[in-house]
Amino acid sequence: MCGIIGYTGSGSCAEKLLRGLDRLEYRGYDSSGISWLDEKGKIKTVKSSGRLSLLREKLGEALPKSSCGIGHTRWATHGAPSDENAHPHCTDNVSVVHNGIIENYFSLKEELIGKGYTFDSETDTEVALKLIDMYYKKEKDPLSALTSAMSRLKGSFALGVIFRGREGELYAVRVGSPLVVAFGDDGNYIASDIHAFLDKTDKYFRLEEGEIACVCPRGVRVTDRDGRERSKEILTAEFSLSAAEKGGYPHFMLKEIHEEPRIISDTARSMAELPIDKIIPWDILDGIIKEEGNIRIVACGTAMHAGLIGKYYLEKFARVSVEVSYASEFRYSDPIMHQGDVLILISQSGETADTLAALRMAKERGVFTLAVVNAVGSAIWREADRSLLTLAGPEIAVASTKAYSAQLVLMYTLAAKIARAAGRLSEEAETAICRGLSDTVPKAVEGIAARDREIKRLAEILSEQDNAFFIGRGIDRYLVTEGSLKLKEISYIHSEAYPAGELKHGTISLITEGTPVVAVITDKNVADKTISNIKEVTARGGEMIIISSDDIDIPPELSKTVFRIPSIGIKGNCEKDYSGIFIPFSAATALQLLAYHTSVLRGCDVDRPRNLAKSVTVE
Ligand code: F6R
């Protein structure tokens, strides 16, 4: 959701800013720009709509020599992607890059127009800029101008700012949207996330709410809204640079899918020995088991789909009922929550605005919050009562794949541990689930990833189409919801997911000769029912692609395009039939590869699909 970078030091800033923007491009990529201070201390700016390569072209071979500057890669909110709306926005005195939303931009704009300011763009950022400019003219001091402006701006924003004549000084403001400050050998950085400078340094700290940093080549000073100085602990980034590189794969998405076996195993092992009362305090858990309290899962997009799988297994193993909500709906729905409930927040980035808002709302009402996050130190990670880490490492492709698989591991583990605590699952079964997640599942997923070619053949059917449907029952219904999202976001094929039995209640009218329908059948208990629904589709000319477990009989006339998944689950002395419980992992990987190959065949930008951004820090 927009990427910010800034550098000040002894080196030249332009190449560093461009390299940082390259790494941040996953946050938004419809325009970009940089500002720097020239040898006379004047602000210079070059910006361009479109991808970063166009900015490089505009800058030409002779990059500016300046050693202090800021850069930005945009995900449009206010105003279309255009040169005018691209950041940085500048006056003679100030240049600003911004991530987030200024909610009261309209009233401020009117006030500034009344004071003689004019506006060249449609952005809320230009309003923030002119406000800072106004205070800077009055107060003649960058820090007090920023503090005054901050007290007037409403919303969630991170700013990177340079001032004319203030050589070597870079300012960073954080209200809601993430910003980090890092220390390199030849200078210091600000950025929206640590990947921007990992080739230069791994030493950094995060700005907290309402903090302003003045970053100079030799040091950093951080103050709060009231001008009080704050001391910061310097952290060491745990990610290696290789996470931010493709490692021989044509796309990050494919690389990340192939990382799933290791990630599943690492995440499962990290959870196996964790006692349940280190996850949810006993008194609250006891209330949940006695049905005095409720579990709710709140998240967005793919993370929410992982929550649906969590619901399925929490209900299956632990027999506690679970509600799953989109965070954007949950926060405005006046949800019924009581002390004694548990709110589980799932988020890869740990910064998603709606999920964070849901968390804060629950905390205000005294509800216990448990976060499942992929980014240590992110806002959701820090603010939740307890946080569990998915060990997926940085996910660069905009479409989430490996983080989803890691979220599934946590959902299964949590379900098994709660079920065990409730006495609804034997110790033997719990151990078998944990062991299966760390050993059997990774091998199975590796097996699916190795069958890339077979999946590519299925993708050839989809890639020619403009519309597709996904169907499934029970757990498969939740899997196809994610499979459909993956397909539409990276291949631009319109796609809808339906419970298989629901198709005939309206949507089947859209099935005509050749309409592709992807069916997932891993749940033996409802396989025959789904097969009947498939027959209803083929009777109307629909073209089936079936992903099914290998212990389910598919009628020969339907088996032309079947992708068979080995059935994996728990064998032996369990209280119930858990023989196929791990198939969702394999099916999820197969669906991810199906979307991936379809996108490649259609010539789409797999890692950076249009209109999207990785970390959604606006609501
Ligand atoms: C889809 C995708 C999004 C995210 C959603 C939530 O591939 O990545 O749907 O899952 O924006 O993001 P996080 O998990 O960062 O809260």
Nearest atom, ligand 1, residue 355 CA: 16
Same-domain check for residues 189 and 289: no
Q: If 0-12 CB within 10 Å is exposed, 13-18 middle and 19+ buried, where does residue 316 land?
A: middle
List the domain range (segments joined by +) for residue 297: 249-449
Cα separation values, 405 from 155, 208, 430, 468, 537, Å: 33, 30, 19, 24, 30
User: Is the confidence at residue 619, as pLDDT, over 80?
Assistant: no
> What is the enclosing helix (H) or strand (E) of 390?
none
User: Is the confidence at residue 577, as pLDDT, over 80?
Assistant: no
Same-domain check for residues 438 and 586: no
Cβ neighbors of 409 (< 8 A, separation 6 or more) are: 264, 267, 268, 271, 390, 437, 441
Domain total in the chain: 3
Q: How far is the CA of 304 from the centre of ligand 1 (A)?
A: 8
Q: Is residue 212 part of a domain?
A: yes
CA atoms within 13 A on the CB side of 450: 8
Q: Tell me if 592 sits within 8 A of 152, measured CB to CB.
A: no
Residue that terminates a domain, selected from 219, 244, 269:
244
Same-domain check for residues 473 and 558: yes
2 is catalytic: yes
Cβ of 300 less than 6 Å from ligand 1: yes
- pLDDT digit string (tens) for 403-415? 999 999 999 999 9
Residue type, 267: T
Catalytic residue among 2, 214, 434, 604: 2
**Cis peptide bond upstream of 88, omega within 30:** yes
CA 256, 579, 322 angle in degrees (round to 5)?
70
At residue 465, φ and ψ (nearest 5 deg) are -105, 160
Q: Is residue 619 part of a domain?
A: no
What per-residue confidence (pLDDT) applies to 27? Answer: 80
Q: How far is residue 139's CA from residue 161's CA, in Å, rounded to a whole number?
A: 16
Same-domain check for residues 392 and 514: no
Give the three-class secondary structure for 568.
coil
Cβ neighbors of 141 (< 8 A, separation 6 or more) are: none
Same-domain check for residues 140 and 260: no
What per-residue confidence (pLDDT) applies to 559? Answer: 75
Same-domain check for residues 169 and 233: yes
Cβ of 303 less than 6 Å from ligand 1: yes
- pLDDT digit string (tens) for 313-363? 999 999 999 999 999 999 889 999 999 999 999 999 999 999 999 999 999
What per-residue confidence (pLDDT) applies to 572? Answer: 63
Q: Name the average pLDDT for the chain.
A: 93
Same-domain check for residues 481 and 592: yes
Q: How far is residue 456's CA from residue 477's CA, in Å, rounded to a whole number?
A: 23
Nearest atom, ligand 1, residue 300 CA: 6
- Residue of 75, 297, 302, 608 to mutate, ligand 1, most atoms within 8 A of C-beta: 302
Q: How far is the CA of 355 from the centre of ligand 1 (A)?
A: 10
Same-domain check for residues 415 and 471: no
Q: If 0-12 CB within 10 Å is exposed, 13-18 middle and 19+ buried, where does residue 524 land?
A: middle
Residue that terminates a domain, selected from 190, 222, 244:
244
Residue that terminates a domain, selected from 244, 260, 282:
244
Q: Is residue 606 part of a domain?
A: yes
Q: Is residue 616 part of a domain?
A: no
- The domain that holds 544 is classified in CATH as 3.40.50.10490
Same-domain check for residues 55 and 193: yes
Residue 159 tokens read as: 């700013």
Same-domain check for residues 81 and 130: yes
Q: Is residue 81 part of a domain?
A: yes
Closest C-alpha residue for ligand 1 atom 5: 301
User: Is the confidence at residue 180, as pLDDT, over 70?
Assistant: yes
Residue 495 tokens read as: 């796609």
Cβ neighbors of 390 (< 8 A, separation 6 or more) are: 263, 267, 348, 372, 373, 374, 403, 406, 407, 409, 410
Cβ of 489 less than 6 Å from ligand 1: yes
Q: Is residue 618 part of a domain?
A: no
Which residue shows structure tokens 């009777």? 539
Percent of the chain's residues with pLDDT above 90: 81
Mean pLDDT of 171-195: 93
614 is catalytic: yes
Q: How far is residue 43's CA from residue 70's CA, in Å, rounded to a whole number?
A: 11
Q: Is residue 323 part of a domain?
A: yes
- Please report the beta strands in 448-499, taking only residues with DSSP state E, as ranges in sequence order: 467-472, 494-499
Q: Is residue 617 part of a domain?
A: no
- The domain that holds 216 is classified in CATH as 3.60.20.10
- pLDDT digit string (tens) for 378-402? 889 999 999 999 999 989 999 999 9
Q: Tell me if 178 sits within 8 A of 158, measured CB to CB.
A: yes
Strand partners, 324: 297
Same-domain check for residues 227 and 130: yes
Q: How far is the CA of 206 from the centre of ligand 1 (A)?
A: 22
What per-residue confidence (pLDDT) applies to 245? Answer: 78
Q: Give the residue from 164, 75, 85 showing the smallest Cα distance to 125.
A: 85
Q: Give the residue from 350, 78, 358 showing the smallest Cα distance to 206.
A: 350
Task: Give the other-Cβ count within 10 Å of 218's Cβ.
Answer: 10
Cβ of 95 less than 6 Å from ligand 1: no
Cβ of 125 less than 6 Å from ligand 1: no
Same-domain check for residues 192 and 334: no
Closest C-alpha residue for ligand 1 atom 3: 301
Lowest mean pLDDT among 378-387, 554-563, 591-600: 554-563
Mean pLDDT of 91-108: 94
- pLDDT digit string (tens) for 16-66? 999 999 888 878 788 999 999 999 999 999 999 998 999 999 998 878 889
Give the three-class secondary structure for 67.
coil
